[in-house]
Chains A and B, each alone.
Chain A
Amino acid sequence: MTEAEQPLIQIQELTKVFYTDEIETHALSGVHLSINKGEYVAMSGPSGCGKSTLLSIIGLLDTPTAGRYFLNGKTVENLDFAERSRIRNQEIGFIFQSFNLIGDLTVYENVELPLTYRQKMPAANRKARVMEALERVGMAHRVRHYPSQLSGGQQQRVAVARALGGKPSILLADEPTGNLDSRNGEAVMEFLQNLHREGATICMVTHDPRFAKHAQREVHLFDGKVVAEEELKKLLQETSA
């Protein structure tokens, strides 16, 4: 397999168990998943199916209980905190449902933040990257504003700019439209599609089938397992019955 053909993300037999007061909760059970470079994948499923847990593990925010995880062909499931921080900073861009901008930082500073954690990046390069990202999302005119001075849609655009600023290998979006009205939601979806068309790899968690349709491929989760769409429908019908 050449490097170009090699999946960007490859997950094998991934399991995540939460232990609380002697109760084991299997959030993920034997998940297999591959995401190729340039692919746009939506992960969907009912509430509590494990999609956010899977996104946390893909984003190196959490570690699996068992299984393998290869990012760019390198195993990453057992890295230490510092190494995971470095990879998050350089390889992954996050877009969250609740934007997660830092209220005390300006728009410019929020977008600059991940770049400040990169050693030896000259200030001029940082500035160029920040302005480029903000111009892409149409927020360059709001650099001195604080998040509280922006609308929800604008905040999410800033969050996207922050994710793009670091030129990551993959964008992870967790319910990116969850806190937006339909008009702003559609705008964000359109923006992600544009990014995909320009070659970005995107993995998005959503419970809304309308938005999942924007993705190239849809991965369905149910009770911590990846299931086919038909199987999911069947399982959902059984559950509701």
Chain B
Amino acid sequence: MSGLLQDVRYALRQFRMSPGFTAVSVLTLALGIGATTAMFTLVDRILFRSLPYPQDDQLVSVGVVAPIIDGEFLFAANYLGWRDQQTSFVGFTSSTGVSDCDLTDDHPVRATCAAVASTFLPTLGIQPLLGRNLTREEDRPDAPKVALLTYGLWQDRFGGDRDVVGRAISLDGQPTRIVGVLPRDFEFPRLARTSILVPEALDESIVQRHEMGTVVRVFGRMKPGASIEQTKAELQPLFRDFVESAPPPFRKVLRLQVRSIKDLQVHDSRRAAWLLLASALAVLLIACANAANLVLARSAGRRNELAIRSTLGAPRVRLFQQRLTESVLLALMGGACGTGLAYVIVQAFVALAPVGIPRLSEAAVDGRVLLFAVLLSLASGIVFGTLPALEKPTVQMLVVKTMVGTRGARLRQMLLAAQVWMAVVLLASAMLFVRSLLRLETEPLGMNPANIVAAQITLGQQKYSGAAERLRFFEELERKLKELPGFASVALSDSLPPTPPARTMPYVAVQGEGQPSLGPEQGIGGVVGWRAVTPEYFSVLGIPLLSGRTFEERDRAPGAYSIILNQALAQQMFPDEKALGKMVRFHADRAELAAPFTVIGVTGNTQNQGLGGQVGREYYMVRRHTEDDVIFHFPGSQRVSIVVRSALGPQTVALELRNAVKTLDSTLPVEVSTLSESVAKLAERPRFSAALLSLFAVVGVLLTALGIYGVVSLLVSQRTQEIGIRVALGATTAEVTRMMVWQASMWVGFGAAAGILGSLVAARWIGSLLFGIRANDPATLAEAAALLLVVALFGAWVPARRAAKVDPMVALRYE
């Protein structure tokens, strides 16, 4: 122990006496450890940290996957059946989802209500902070209304009053009694923002009436020790019943899904999170290689000391311990600075990151992250310190003067090649992401989002409970907006591209006149999206009309049945003839879709699956002046998007828009932005990933260049005598420079070649995160390697050039 303390004391003194070496090493390591710690902080919640539920690994999301609905689901009738028959879970529960709701007391406020079964909290293992859970009696359609408040709402709206339990509130106009408050760390399994839990109150009589009921999301707690695979196997009989009860076209496309809640929450972020963490680790490894090179370089100067210690009888293990102690201490100092850097990076990332990255807002440098930073620093110290510490002392040099100048050079060159290798992989990945982003951002949208202001409104459930109230509001709003000066081009739609349509229909249910129906072997033929729009929708968004006409006022009259197809749908539905004037029938068990619709126009395709998605088939229906309109027969008809193309500035349009809504209903919140902003927002996540990767790549390349500079500088200083002899014998400056650069370039070239191979391996991993470019794009890989070669050779050229100017007289006196 005293030996270790002595080593620590000596190491600290060494650092004080070599401030330059210490500062460069600590800064290099701080960059690597800081970047990795910051990335760990950001992805810890996605990848590693457990969820705020006891035994969270037992919790799963259960359901059937079908193309018409996003994610796994069950219909209420299936859920009720599975709940009673399943034997795989110790807890089985459901939620009909999260929707807007209004607290309609003295100061009305918009909230989000999650409708859940009374078994929801017990299944998740959550105890209310105050009050109690929902009871089975309260979870019935005719039961008195009750609610649990989330901690945030309890604090904000009720000032954390502990007597809130039992108090009556007005929720969507209904008297509702508060029965409890949820704990502070409560989160909805699907991560939807939630402020109130209410009973989902499923009508269990639908089972007797052989109705499917609403869509529910189902969660289960598996038996202790049970695996997802076992549970899935046990659910097969119930799934088979589900398939048999489904319409024949659907049977082939249905799939049972059981996945952990964590997987449900982070499935599309996991790969990107791993990629970013791996990139940060690559930066750390480059930093470690640099630090190892610095320590090796310093070892050359300390070889005498090492030999003296060894001569005086220091055992190898003691020398190893002493040198490793120095490296670990350096790494800990780097780790301390790196943690500070990580704190800054995390703050910046959380502020700049796009919405929708799961749990990012919770990221903070806490005790767990600090422990990670300490362990990472220790590991880094061991990684970069081991090789130099293993160097064998040359005790003979104290007595027999021999040339040991370039000893260890091979090791340093190998480290250099490893740095170049990692830097090329990093750089190639970053370049691929940047190119992918550029293609994503310049992808044709099929419309012109410039100068368009878009607003979203969601009507409250209480005030606008029926189709009549909703229709009245939307008609009045449309009329009012059109009357505003400068608002000539106004349209309403239930959703806007490039986000996917809010509603879909199985292709099998949409049949073109004279076209054969799909056979049972063809399944449902995928899904077709549709939007309900007002006539100006196409002109406001600049969607080109390819044939026919767009909607007119006459199409909005009750009894008019007009439909517009996008080009993709028209081509598939009527492959050999013109769609215009053809009839389209819907094979849906819905009265409002019973009449045939006439195709009055075909428009160009718009990007309608998000940025980078394949253009989907789509049709448009006009929003008619009747409460029997199709839109009011589908869920979510209280939501509307308004688009305005105006010569007025966006701020003026937004103000006028808000005022217009306010005159109709002062309590309605309105979200306004330009359509260009909304489109740009869709690219925020890839932009964020590309920015982070680019940052890591730049740091990696700079560290590599510094590493090369350091190694070549050292080689130059070790070979000063040799260079002096060469110059004395007539070598020119250019020849000496060329010789030094050439020797460095061999290792750099080797590293770059390995980097290209590494990038090809990485390509398989990042391919799914790219758009419009192959992950093994040869041009990008070659450019990344070439760019790195140029930077690396510049790093070698600077000290080589200096070497070539060596005064031979000085150099020959060197020894």
Show the binding face of A for B, using Cβ within 8 Å: 52-53, 55-56, 59, 61-62, 81-82, 85-90, 94, 96, 100-105, 113-114, 116-118, 123, 162, 166, 174
**Contact present for B2 and A88 (CB under 8 Å):** no
Show the binding face of B for A, using Cβ within 8 Å: 2-3, 6, 10, 13-14, 17, 304-305, 307-316, 318, 395-396, 398-400
Given A116-B3, A116-B6, A61–B398 Cβ distance below 8 Å? yes
**Contact present for A114 and B399 (CB under 8 Å):** no
Cβ contacts under 8 Å, A62 to chain B: 395-396, 400
**Contact present for A56 and B312 (CB under 8 Å):** no
The residue that A96 contacts in the complex, of B3, B14, B315, B399, with Cβ under 8 A, is: B399
Q: How long is the Cα–Cα vector from A135 to B312 in the complex, in angstroms?
A: 20
Cβ contacts under 8 Å, A81 to chain B: 316
| A232 nearest CB across to chain B (Å) | 21
Q: How long is the Cα–Cα vector from A78 to B196 in the complex, in angstroms?
A: 82
**Contact present for B315 and A104 (CB under 8 Å):** no
- Closest B-chain residue to A162, C-beta based? B312
- Closest A-chain residue to B309, C-beta based? A113
Given A53-B400, A59-B399, A117-B318, A85–B310 Cβ distance below 8 Å? yes
- Closest B-chain residue to A110, C-beta based? B308
Cβ contacts under 8 Å, B398 to chain A: 61, 94, 96, 100, 174
Interface centre among A61, A62, A89, A102, by most chain B C-beta atoms within 10 angstroms, is: A61
Cβ contacts under 8 Å, B311 to chain A: 59, 61, 88, 94, 100
Q: How long is the Cα–Cα vector from A82 to B315 in the complex, in angstroms?
A: 6
Q: How long is the Cα–Cα vector from A53 to B396 in the complex, in angstroms?
A: 8
**Contact present for B399 and A55 (CB under 8 Å):** yes
**Contact present for B316 and A82 (CB under 8 Å):** yes
Cβ contacts under 8 Å, A53 to chain B: 399-400
Cβ contacts under 8 Å, A166 to chain B: 313
**Contact present for B312 and A113 (CB under 8 Å):** yes
Q: How long is the Cα–Cα vector from A100 to B313 in the complex, in angstroms?
A: 14
| B729 nearest CB across to chain A (Å) | 20
Q: How many A-B residue pairs have CB under 8 A?
A: 77
**Contact present for B312 and A61 (CB under 8 Å):** no
The residue that A85 contacts in the complex, of B13, B308, B316, B396, with Cβ under 8 A, is: B316
| A56 nearest CB across to chain B (Å) | 5
Cβ contacts under 8 Å, B396 to chain A: 56, 61-62
Q: How long is the Cα–Cα vector from A116 to B316 in the complex, in angstroms?
A: 14
Q: How long is the Cα–Cα vector from A183 to B395 in the complex, in angstroms?
A: 30
**Contact present for B2 and A89 (CB under 8 Å):** no
**Contact present for A90 and B10 (CB under 8 Å):** no
Q: How long is the Cα–Cα vector from A98 to B649 in the complex, in angstroms?
A: 83
| A155 nearest CB across to chain B (Å) | 13
Cβ contacts under 8 Å, A90 to chain B: 313
**Contact present for B313 and A56 (CB under 8 Å):** no
**Contact present for A56 and B400 (CB under 8 Å):** yes
Given A104-B10, A104-B13, A123-B2, A89–B312 Cβ distance below 8 Å? yes
**Contact present for A117 and B316 (CB under 8 Å):** no
| A152 nearest CB across to chain B (Å) | 17
Given A59-B399, A62-B396, A100-B398, A117–B13 Cβ distance below 8 Å? no
- Interchain residue pairs with CB less than 8 A apart (7): A88-B313, A94-B398, A96-B398, A104-B14, A113-B308, A117-B314, A174-B399
Q: How long is the Cα–Cα vector from A55 to B400 in the complex, in angstroms?
A: 9
Cβ contacts under 8 Å, B313 to chain A: 85-90, 114, 117-118, 166
Q: How long is the Cα–Cα vector from A100 to B2 in the complex, in angstroms?
A: 25
Q: How long is the Cα–Cα vector from A118 to B316 in the complex, in angstroms?
A: 13
**Contact present for B309 and A61 (CB under 8 Å):** no
**Contact present for B308 and A100 (CB under 8 Å):** yes
Interface centre among A53, A88, A101, A118, by most chain B C-beta atoms within 10 angstroms, is: A88
Cβ contacts under 8 Å, B17 to chain A: 104
Cβ contacts under 8 Å, B308 to chain A: 100-102, 113
Q: How long is the Cα–Cα vector from A107 to B315 in the complex, in angstroms?
A: 22
| A114 nearest CB across to chain B (Å) | 4
| B433 nearest CB across to chain A (Å) | 47
Q: How long is the Cα–Cα vector from A114 to B396 in the complex, in angstroms?
A: 18
**Contact present for A85 and B315 (CB under 8 Å):** yes
The residue that B395 contacts in the complex, of A61, A103, A174, with Cβ under 8 A, is: A61
Q: How long is the Cα–Cα vector from A52 to B396 in the complex, in angstroms?
A: 9
Q: How long is the Cα–Cα vector from A123 to B6 in the complex, in angstroms?
A: 12
**Contact present for B14 and A61 (CB under 8 Å):** no
| A31 nearest CB across to chain B (Å) | 15
| A48 nearest CB across to chain B (Å) | 11
Interface centre among B311, B316, B395, by most chain A C-beta atoms within 10 angstroms, is: B311
- Closest B-chain residue to A27, C-beta based? B400
| B694 nearest CB across to chain A (Å) | 42
Interface centre among B17, B307, B314, by most chain A C-beta atoms within 10 angstroms, is: B314
Q: How long is the Cα–Cα vector from A54 to B318 in the complex, in angstroms?
A: 27
- Closest A-chain residue to B310, C-beta based? A85
Cβ contacts under 8 Å, B307 to chain A: 100
Q: How long is the Cα–Cα vector from A89 to B307 in the complex, in angstroms?
A: 13
| B662 nearest CB across to chain A (Å) | 76
Cβ contacts under 8 Å, A96 to chain B: 398-399
